[in-house]
Amino acid sequence: MSYRCYHTSCDVCGKRMFIETQGGRDRRYCSPACKQAAYRKRKDGAKRNNRVLRNENLLARLSENGFSEAAMSKLRDILGQFGPDATQAAADLALLCAEEVRQLLRR
pLDDT tens digit sequence for 23-35: 777 888 889 999 9
pLDDT tens digit sequence for 67-102: 888 888 888 788 778 887 888 888 888 888 888 888
Residue type, 85: D
Give yes or no for residue 56 having a pLDDT over 60.
Answer: yes
Residue % of the chain over a pLDDT of 70: 99
Average of per-residue pLDDT across 36-60: 84
Q: How far apart are CA 16 and CA 29, in angstroms?
A: 10
> Of 104, 19, 94, 38, whose CA–CA distance to 63 is shortest?
94
pTM: 0.48
* In the chain, where the domains are located: 54-106
From the centroid of its chain, how far is CA 45?
A: 5
